[in-house]
């Protein structure tokens, strides 16, 4: 009887160890394998990343509610400073005192760099509709205007330097989402250099 109990105990330990080892092997394999997302899952991931990265903070025009809260104007979401909108006229005295000024809808900024306007990042041709993934990656990781190799640097407040160490798959998901957005035709004005303000 003692031998049977010992044998059962040994077998139980053996199966427990086998189960744990097998589970650990499967977990390690799962961690090392890249999970292929469907196109819709990729878009959803990109949408989530765009939301938590604060892209709407600058790129989406806003209006003030009765409660004093800025809300995104859905029909122009992610389309940047609106073509034909009244531009903020920066107070040069404030800028000389190192102030940074913002348009009420948070899509125009003025500071020591001059005046910058939030870009249209919708899927329209006036936005990023004609961009390649490579251009998007270069804009986000190297701060190059329109993601073009020999172009100027992106102006503040675009925080491209926060994305330098972003995972490529995350930026690709963001790009895929932005390319899936409703196209909004909006030609954003060029920046104004400090000496022309």
R_g over Cα of the chain: 26
Residue 45, pLDDT > 50, answer yes
> pLDDT band at residue 11, thresholds of 50, 70 and 90?
very low
Top-ranked range on mean pLDDT: pick from 110-114, 173-177, 192-196: 173-177
CA distance 81 to 119: 7
Mean pLDDT computed over 178-183: 98
CA distance 87 to 94: 17
Percent of the chain with pLDDT over 90: 68
Q: Which residues of 36-55 are buried (b: 16+ CB within 10 A; e: fewer)?
A: eeeeeebbbbbbebbeebeb
Chain-centroid distance, C-alpha 132: 16
Q: How many helices (H) and strands (E) does the chain have?
A: 6, 5
> pLDDT band at residue 111, thresholds of 50, 70 and 90?
very high
Mean of the per-residue pLDDT values for the chain? 86
Top-ranked range on mean pLDDT: pick from 2-16, 26-40, 63-77, 131-145: 131-145
Name the strand (E) or helix (H) holding 146: none
pLDDT of residue 195: 82
Can you list the positions of beta strands (E) in 52-98?
62-64, 70-72
Record the pTM. 0.79
In the block, tokens 């330098």 appear at: 164
Q: 88: closest CA among 75, 99, 77? A: 99
């Amino acid at each position: 009887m003692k031998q049977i109990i010992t044998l059962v105990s040994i077998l139980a330990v053996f199966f427990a160890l086998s189960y744990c080892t097998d589970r650990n092997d499967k977990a390690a394999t799962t961690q090392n394998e890249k999970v292929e997302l469907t196109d819709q899952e990729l878009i959803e991931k990109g949408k989530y990343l765009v939301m938590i990265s604060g892209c709407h903070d600058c790129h989406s025009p806003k209006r003030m509610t009765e409660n004093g809260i800025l809300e995104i104007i859905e029909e122009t979401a992610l389309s940047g400073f609106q073509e034909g909108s009244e531009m903020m006229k920066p107070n040069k005295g404030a800028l000389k005192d190192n102030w940074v000024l913002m348009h009420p809808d948070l899509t125009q900024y003025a500071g020591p760099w001059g005046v910058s306007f939030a870009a249209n990042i919708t899927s329209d041709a006036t936005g990023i509709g004609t961009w390649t993934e490579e251009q998007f990656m270069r804009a986000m990781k190297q701060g190059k205007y329109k993601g073009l190799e020999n172009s100027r640097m992106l102006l503040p407040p675009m925080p491209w330097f926060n994305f330098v160490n972003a995972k490529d798959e995350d930026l690709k998901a963001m790009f895929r989402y932005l390319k899936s957005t409703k196209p909004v035709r909006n030609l954003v004005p060029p920046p104004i250099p400090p000496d022309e303000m």
